[in-house]
Each structure stands twice: as C-alpha cells, then as structure tokens.
Structure 1
Amino acid sequence: MGAGLEPDAGYEDLVRERREAILSRLEEACARSGRTTSEVLVEAVSKTVGPEAVVAAMRAGYEAFGENRPQELVRKLDALSAAGIEAPRFDMIGNLQTNKINQVLGRAHLIHSISSSHLAEAVSKRAERGGLRVPVLLECNVSGEASKSGFSPDEARAAAEGLAALPGITLEGIMTMAPAHDADAARRTFSGLRELANDLRRRTGLGLPTLSCGMSDDFTIAVEEGATLVRLGRIAFSSDYAL
C-alpha cells in the first residue's frame, strides 16, 4: 500500500501512537457508559491533511475518513486511485452546496450534512436521476447556536416523515456539533441529540442507527451520551494537539 504516496515514517508512527491513545480513551468512555467499543465508529477527519497522511492513517487501522469539501474528497480519491490503493470509506461531513452535489454522489459513503429540506430534496432528485440511493444524516442544531447550520429540533420533528419518504436518499440518523470549550454544554447537546433521535424514530418508524457527534475535544463525552460515530481530526493527525 502507498506506492507513490509513501508517508514519512516518523509521521506514520505519530498517527499510530495517537490512534492507540484515542482507542484507549474510547474504551474508557464506553466502560463508563456500559457500552462496547464495537458500537462506535472512529472516523478520521482528513480535511487538513494530504493523501500521504490518509495512507499513514489507513496503515494505523482507520477504515473511515471524513472530508468537508467535495473537491478535496475527489482529490483524495483520485490520488489513492492513481497510486493503486483501494480507497477506504470517505464521508462528506461539511457544508454541501447544491451545485456541488454531483461531486459527492457515488463517492461519499454517507452525507452527514443534510442541513435543510431544500438540500435533502436536491440530493434526492440528483440521486434518483443517477439510479442511486444515498445514505444521509440530518444535521441538527441541537445547541441552538446562531453560528451553526442545520435543523432545529422542532424543524427536524416537523420535517422527518417527509424527508424519510423522499426517493434517492435513505435517512440513516442525525448529526450535530457541540459548543466549543464547554463540557457541560457539550453533554447537554449530545444527550439532546440522543433524545431527538428517539423522537424521530417514533415519528418515522426508522431505525436511525447513526448518531454522529463528538470531535477531538469532546468525543469521550459524546460516546458517554450515545454517539455511534465520532469525527476526529486534530487529535488524530496533528502533533500540536496535546493528548
């Protein structure tokens, strides 16, 4: 693996050591909440690193990656393909504009950032036109911060049944981001997401198995509150991030 994309050996060691530390913290958080590590997918957010770092992370054991820009998702996949490397799972986790949908369809395993009914309908139409069924998450602004996009919990409740019925997409769950640098607010946000998911399951009859929440600073809290997917960038890839 990695012909033409050979990572620096020291950097590869760094990524492996950090993954071991992450998995140790994950195990502790699961133990505190009566869960097992098999219930949580650790996704490496590769938006700020190059394809060589993705190769290092694959060698360390990561099987899922997240990108926040469609053009960067395409660039990484093309680089891996050119190097003869079978691409791992890549998710689209960032803002998705309607004019970028075609870059993501057929490439992203899961779109985390369906932030409006308009976007859901646009993805549905493009996917149906291409004969695809695309797994998606509703982005929910559980914390209510004006700086964050997404459905409010009430908007999600009102829209969920209609969105679940759209052709071309499959509603797999919901996603949120917590306020930065505030552990108590993060816990309230993540528990709120869990409660919202339960409500949406009752309304739609869907399993909604994926709760995507928790990042480098707060992923252990997210796991304690029910996250099934955590999105880790700096802690996974940056030597500047203090463990």
Structure 2
Amino acid sequence: MLEERLRRTIQEIEDSCKKAGRKREEVTLIAVSKTWPAETLREAYDLGCREFGENKVQELVQKYDSLPKDIRWHMIGHLQRNKVKDVIDKVDLIHSVDSIRLARTIEQEAAKKDRIIDILVEVNVAQEESKFGISPREALKFVEEIAAFPHIRVRGLMTIAPFVENSEENRQVFADLRKLSVDIAEKSIDNVSMDVLSMGMTNDYPVAVEEGATLVRVGTGIFGGRDYAKNRMTEK
C-alpha cells in the first residue's frame, strides 16, 4: 500500500509540473513521517525516499539515530528554542523560523558546531490565529534582520495553508507566498536566496506545485491515516 501511495503521489507531482510547464526536478517530495515508526520510514527509504520531515524534535532525533545517514531531515514543525541544540547537527533544513529569538538561538547553536544552517521563514499567509508564522507584511524586515547572522542562510519561505475540502481554495495562498518570495528576492539581500518555497500538503500539494512550490510536505498521502493512539511519541 505504501508503495502504491508513493507512486501515486509522485505521479500527481509530475502531472502538476506538466500542467504548469515546470520541470519535475524542480519539486522535491518530503515524506512527512511524524508518529510513524522507523520501520515504516525504512520501507519508504527502500522505495527511494531520501527526504523526511518531522514535526517533533524527539521523533527526529530517535529516527536519525536508527536510519541511514544519507537521509536529508527537515524540521517542519514549530521549533522551541530549548530544542534547537538537539537538532542543529542533524537537520538539513529548518522550515519554521518565525521569530528573531528563535533565529538567534539557531545562530548561537550553529556557531558552536561551526556550521551554517539553511532555514526557511515561516509566513502565515492566511493569517490564521491558530497558526505560527510571521505576517506577510513583516516578512521583508524579518528576513533583513536575520540575514545578518553568519551561521544562518535564508533559503526561502514556508507556509501552512488552511485545511480545506477544495484545494483550489488555497491557490491564492500559494500564489501570494510565491509573489512575496519574488519581492524579497528583488531586494538582493546578502546571505538570502529565495529559491525554496515549502508549501502544499496531502490535501493540496498539486495546486501548490502549479503555483511554484519547490518542496511539498506529504504525510497521509504516502503513509496513510495515522493511528495516533498507537504511534504517538510525545515530547519530553
């Protein structure tokens, strides 16, 4: 079943790329593996997945230690400052930077490891009160501030669109994020590139691809429905 779902997801990405006149290699699929055990991730790995996204630091750390080291790990969930030190040497990309205090902590921990961390700025495009992320109007100023940190490299933007039954309802959200990234890119800020757009999840990633997503975060579409009672790992 996992193989079938993965194949279908990849095909839908290809179809959306064709529809939008994009090259398939412009879009990277991130398998969102929260709550799923390492054995399930290994199955996806054996089917070719190398990009995995986690929402919880504890889960990422546990899986990192038990899975192949050529996996690229994405921290896609809200990141608490006191947890940064636990993932700073494990993640390839942090998607959810939404405060100067968090960026400063990432800078400090990255400096200790003598590495430069790629990050995305999380933007709450739909301005939902229940979601993290800075407002679109604050994005440029925010990017300019954190661009000064020498151990952080701003690669682009991320958003979590509203959950909707009809994915077309989120098209404008994705279009707005892409426009924002273009506007910021035109400022030619040192240490900032806007080549990454992380947007689109299981219920709307085809539309996100059509609107310019370079990273799509798909969990249920690959792994199936989650049994939270059975699989949940909680933060300590």
TM-score, structure 2 as length reference: 0.91
- List gaps (5 residues or longer) in structure 2: 227-236
Look up the equivalent residue of 2:122 and give its one-letter code: E
Look up the equivalent residue of 2:179 and give its one-letter code: E
- List gaps (5 residues or longer) in structure 1: 1-13
Residue 25 of structure 2 is aligned to residue 25 of structure 1: no
Following superposition, the deviation at residue 203 of structure 1 comes to: 2.3
Paired position in structure 1 for 2:63: 76
Runs of 4+ residues over 4 Å off in structure 1: none
Paired position in structure 2 for 1:9: none
Match for 1:203 among 168, 187, 210?
187
The 8 Å contact of residues 75 and 93 in structure 2, kept in 1 or not, is answered as yes
CA distance in 1, matches of 2:91, 2:161: 24
Look up the equivalent residue of 1:69 and give its one-letter code: K
Following superposition, the deviation at residue 127 of structure 1 comes to: 1.1
The 8 Å contact of residues 191 and 225 in structure 1, kept in 2 or not, is answered as yes
Paired position in structure 1 for 2:76: 93
Equivalent pairs counted in the alignment come to 223
Task: Specify the SS of the correspondent of 2:7.
Answer: helix
Look up the equivalent residue of 2:86 and give its one-letter code: Q
CA distance in 1, matches of 2:20, 2:99: 32
CA distance in 2, matches of 1:191, 1:62: 27
Look up the equivalent residue of 1:187 and give its one-letter code: R
Residue 151 of structure 2 is aligned to residue 168 of structure 1: yes
The 8 Å contact of residues 160 and 203 in structure 1, kept in 2 or not, is answered as no
Match for 1:190 among 170, 174, 182?
174
The 8 Å contact of residues 178 and 186 in structure 1, kept in 2 or not, is answered as yes
Paired position in structure 2 for 1:220: 206
The 8 Å contact of residues 50 and 70 in structure 2, kept in 1 or not, is answered as no
Q: Which has the higher contact order (CA 8 A, sep 6+)?
A: 2
The 8 Å contact of residues 174 and 211 in structure 2, kept in 1 or not, is answered as yes
CA distance in 2, matches of 1:202, 1:120: 23
Paired position in structure 2 for 1:59: 46
Match for 1:234 among 217, 220, 229?
220
The 8 Å contact of residues 161 and 204 in structure 1, kept in 2 or not, is answered as no
Q: Could you list the per-position Cα deviations for residues 67-103 of structure 1 after superposition, in whole angstroms to 9, with x for gaps in the alignment? A: 01111111001122xxxx4341111110100100001
Paired position in structure 2 for 1:4: none
The 8 Å contact of residues 154 and 193 in structure 2, kept in 1 or not, is answered as no
Task: Specify the SS of the correspondent of 1:95.
Answer: coil
Match for 1:121 among 90, 104, 119?
104
Q: Percent identity?
A: 40
